[in-house]
């Protein structure tokens, strides 16, 4: 009986493997702001990162910027138009900011990770869940990272990125007590 059930499940397309495909953002309310964040994660081009990177001139060529290894957009409100964002480059230069779409990039902070912190961060990235999860919008975290030469985007819950926040320093907007 168990074999028959397994065969039926497999034949019907039921998968036991993790969903490592691109996230399905159609589950969330559509808005211009939310679409902006999605496109930035898919392309890896984050305007707010460029204006917050004090090492570069604002109008310099985006291709001259050091490549990112990590980008996080944490929606801490039930609105897709604002997110807390974290960016880390290959050398460990880290920036975080509060981004309100079409309005402002606020309260940016930057720091240089040590070699030990960068190694721990890469390990924490490798330990992120492989499956996309779909929490309510006010708890959604979009994480994009470079693995090999590939830019990967996943959706997850705040608790899935706590080890990353421990290394980078979590901002007060998203630092909520665990349930």
The structural domains of the chain, with segments of one domain joined by +, span 20-168
pLDDT confidence of 16, banded at 50, 70, 90? very low
Question: Among 3-12, 79-88, 123-132, where is mean pLDDT lowest?
Answer: 3-12
Q: What is the mean pLDDT of residues 125-130?
A: 93
Top-ranked range on mean pLDDT: pick from 27-36, 40-49, 106-115, 150-159? 150-159
Coil, strand or helix at 69: strand
Cβ(75)–Cβ(172) under 8 Å? Answer: no
Q: What is the mean pLDDT of residues 120-131?
A: 94
pLDDT attached to residue 133 = 93
Task: Evaluate if residue 129 carries a pLDDT over 80.
Answer: yes
Distance CA 129, CA 109 (A): 27
Coil, strand or helix at 37: helix
Q: Across the chain, what does the average pLDDT equal?
A: 77
Report phi then psi at 47, rounded to 5.
-60, -45
Which residues, in sequence order, are CB contacts of 1 under 8 Å at separation 6+?
none
How would you label 33-59 residue by residue, b for 16+ Cβ within 10 Å and e otherwise?
A: bbebbbebbeeeebebbbebbeebeee
Both tokens assigned to 9: 């499940």
pLDDT attached to residue 165 = 94
Q: What is the mean pLDDT of residues 71-81?
A: 83
pLDDT attached to residue 119 = 96
pLDDT attached to residue 18 = 36
- DSSP assignment of 101-156 equals TTTEEEEEEEEE--HHHHHHHHHHHHTS-SS-----GGG-EEEEEEETTEEEEEEE
């Amino acid at each position: 009986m168990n074999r028959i059930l397994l065969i039926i499940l497999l034949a019907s397309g039921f998968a036991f493997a993790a969903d490592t495909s691109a996230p399905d953002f159609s589950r969330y309310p559509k808005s211009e702001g939310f679409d902006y964040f999605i496109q930035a994660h898919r392309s890896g081009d984050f305007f707010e990162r460029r204006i917050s990177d004090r090492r570069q001139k604002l109008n310099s060529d985006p291709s001259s910027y050091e490549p990112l290894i990590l980008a996080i957009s944490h929606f801490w409100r039930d609105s897709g138009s604002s997110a807390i964002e974290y960016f880390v480059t290959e050398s460990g230069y880290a920036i975080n900011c509060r981004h309100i779409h079409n309005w402002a990039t606020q309260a940016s902070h930057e720091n240089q990770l040590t070699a030990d912190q960068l190694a721990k961060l890469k390990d924490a990235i490798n330990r992120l869940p492989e499956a996309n999860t779909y929490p309510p919008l006010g708890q959604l975290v979009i994480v994009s990272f470079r693995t090999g030469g590939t830019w990967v985007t996943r959706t997850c819950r705040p608790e899935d990125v706590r080890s990353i926040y421990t290394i980078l320093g979590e901002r007060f907007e998203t630092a909520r007590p665990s349930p």
